[in-house]
Amino acid sequence: MTPIHKTLFQISLLSIFFFSACNFTPKYEISTFAGQGILVGEVTANSALVQLRLTSSEQLMNQDLLGAAGFVEFILQGEQKQTLTAAASPEHDFIARVAFKNLKPGTLYQCKTRIGMDKSQLSDGPTATFKTLPGAESDQAVRFVVVTGMNYAKFHGDQRIDQAEHLLENNTKLPAPYAGDDKELGYPALAAILKAQPDFFVATGDNVYYDTPNNPAAHSITELRQKWHEQFVQARFKDLFAAVPTYWMVDDHDYRTDDCDNSGDYEPSPALGKRIMLEQLPYAKMDDADALTYRTHRISRDLQIWLPEGRIHRSPNAMPDGPEKTIWGAKQKAWIKKTLSKSDAKYKLFISPTPMLGPDDLRKKDNHTNFGGFRNERDDFFAFLKDSGIDKKGFFIICGDRHWQYHSVDSSGLEEFSCGALIDANSRLGRKPGDPKSTDAKGLIKQPYYQTPRSGGYLMVEVKPTGKTNAKLKVTWHDEHGEILHTTEKN
């Protein structure tokens, strides 16, 4: 036995004698936390999903937040009281999720939680408040926010990002990271959104970036999960999600990699990408084998939104464009047309993860605006809108993906609103109509609004009744500090 081991052994013996003499047994308690706060999702007029991830601490350690096994009790209070308990297990990254049903439309609810390693020893956890959707019978005014491009590495200034590679892939210099004293709180746009108190929050994708930095990129299940942990542990996310319910989509960067499809033998695989999105985000019950990632919600008498799926069902990007090439897949495409045809909402807002009008970069091949991409499917869809008359019945496209804000109107009269990247550090100047390096070199698209100088920000959408049978749509673009950049209204 070495001298140091001999000393440690003697200390251990002394400890045993001391605790025995005092008739005292030391207790070593392992605390359980909810380091990522609480998240409410997929709210309808009668239901809501609520989730919470149990963690072993409240702060990142080595850029990750380790989970903790245990139980979460969700206590819903409002018009009625419901209590549901769920386990937080390593199989699902220690995320406990429950589905509350039989709720009343347009009603404010509070969901308290109790958390712990054992059902018999639970302590108070975070609380969320949310309001159910008003529903088709209500003319209540509605306000919601749309965002994209929440790039953690760019905001925080990850030194592993390759400047030259970023310029090559994104056709723009890497913006400077955020430099405010409040950086550790997370994205300032989230504080501005919380202050505005919208009814709900729509994330159109690129919620995390598996491929930023590109070397090393995230490939394994542990690495993918870490991206969500570091994102949602930020204080401004926790504050926002405790007060505002959410709806989620994913795009390329939070499914596999930049401009991805389902081809290619590399990680993350399509199966792993889908598994993680359904695990980390409240699309459906945790083990719902039939969970659909495309859906529509009737918000009120005057508003219905569509949240299509843009990655899981798509054809290979390299496939020649034509009738068989699709982003949506045959089943989803038929569903989109059917549900739009049935809707009698004054405003039908089609919230797409990727643009349909643009213009976009000419070099790209992965969305509906791109030549050699998926224009055939887009043109078929636009023809359906025109033939059915839906294009004249309050139909508008809202898109994410693009890192600049705009309002575009094509020659047919269809309009698209781009929300732009959430943060300045992930924004860029866009392609304007008439630019030979754009998908609209002839300048056929008109843009009532084009964001310059570049900045991050978000889109606020408001629908207000203006009479017994009429309503008004107001769309407002904000920068990342909440300042108004542009507004348009539709009657």
At residue 12, what is the residue type? S
Residue 135 scores a pLDDT above 70: yes
> How does DSSP assign 136-166, residue by residue?
TT----EEEEEEB---HHHHHT-TTS-HHHH
Lowest mean pLDDT among 143-152, 161-170, 305-314, 408-417: 161-170
pLDDT at 320 over 60: yes
Question: Cα–Cα distance between 491 and 489 in angstroms, integer?
Answer: 7
pTM of the model: 0.92
User: What sign does the CA torsion over 226, 275, 48, 471 have?
Assistant: positive
In terms of DSSP H, where are the helices of 293-409? 330-342, 375-388
User: What secondary structure does DSSP assign to 20-86, as a single string?
Assistant: HHTT---------B-TT-EEEE---SS-EEEEEE-BS-SS-BTTB--B--EEEEEEEESSS-EEEEE
* Contact call for residues 68 and 32 (beta carbons, < 8 A): yes
User: In angstroms, rounded to a whole number, what is the distance separating the alpha carbons of residues 106 and 133?
Assistant: 5
- Tokens representing 50? 């609520």
8-state DSSP, 347 = E
Taking the domains of the chain in order of start, what are their residue ranges?
Answer: 38-131, 142-207+293-490
* Exposed / middle / buried, residue 105 (Cβ in 10 Å: 0-12, 13-18, 19+): middle
- The DSSP line for 177-213 is PP--TTGGG--HHHHHHHHH--SEEEE-S-SS-TTSS
Given this model, what pLDDT does residue 171 score?
Answer: 66
Give the domain 142-207+293-490 fold.
Answer: Purple Acid Phosphatase; chain A, domain 2 (3.60.21)
Mean pLDDT of 19-33: 52
- Return d(Cα 77, Cα 114) in angstroms, integer: 14
Report DSSP state, residue 438: B
No. of H helices and E strands in the chain? 9, 21
pLDDT at res. 289: 78
d(CA 366, CA 450): 22
Is residue 447 within 8 A of residue 406, CB to CB? The reply is yes
- Tens digit of pLDDT for each residue in 229-279? 999 999 999 999 999 999 999 999 999 999 999 999 999 999 999 999 999
Band of residue 169 on the pLDDT scale cut at 50, 70, 90 = low
Q: Amino acid identity of 148?
A: T
pLDDT at res. 391: 98
The pLDDT tens digits of the residues spanning 175-214 come to: 899 999 999 999 999 999 999 999 999 999 999 999 999 9
CB-based contact 284:307 (threshold 8 Å): no
Which residue is associated with the tokens 């199966």?
271
The overall average pLDDT reported for the chain is 93
Nearest to 70 by CA among 29, 112, 10, 127: 29
Distance CA 125, CA 37 (A): 9
Q: Is it true that domain 38-131 has CATH number 2.60.40.10?
A: yes
